[in-house]
């Protein structure tokens, strides 16, 4: 029950993979964690994975998202 997970990515994903990633996260992962954070490290516009995950953020309070423009912004 005390599982906290994080995913850091550049978000670059095949467009048809993003809905599947969302499905796995919602149906197979979120029910087992207290908190899940997704961080996208991308200096440009958001990628398809970010767009797919936005609907999770709205529906699940245990899911958080953050955009980081460069690696140096992590610290």
Between 31 and 13, residue with greater pLDDT = 31
Least confident residue range of 2-11, 29-38, 43-52, 53-62: 43-52
Q: pTM score > 0.75 for this model?
A: yes
pLDDT for the residue 43: 79
| Best CA proximity match to 68, nearest among 53, 48, 46, 36 | 46
Instruction: Please enumerate in sequence order all residues whose Cβ is within 8 A of that of 69, keeping only pairs 6 or more positions apart, or say none.
Output: 41, 42, 43
Give the tens place of pLDDT for each residue, 15-42. 789 899 999 999 999 999 999 999 988 8
How much is the average pLDDT of 52-56? 91
Q: Please check the confidence at residue 4 and state whether its pLDDT lies above 90.
A: yes
């Amino acid at each position: 029950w005390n599982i906290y997970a994080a995913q850091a990515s550049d978000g670059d994903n095949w467009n048809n993979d993003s809905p599947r990633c969302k499905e796995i996260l919602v149906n197979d992962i979120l029910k087992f964690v207290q908190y899940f954070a997704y961080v996208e490290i991308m200096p440009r516009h958001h990628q398809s994975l970010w767009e797919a995950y936005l609907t999770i953020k709205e529906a699940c309070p245990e899911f958080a998202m953050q955009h980081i423009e460069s690696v140096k912004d992590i610290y």
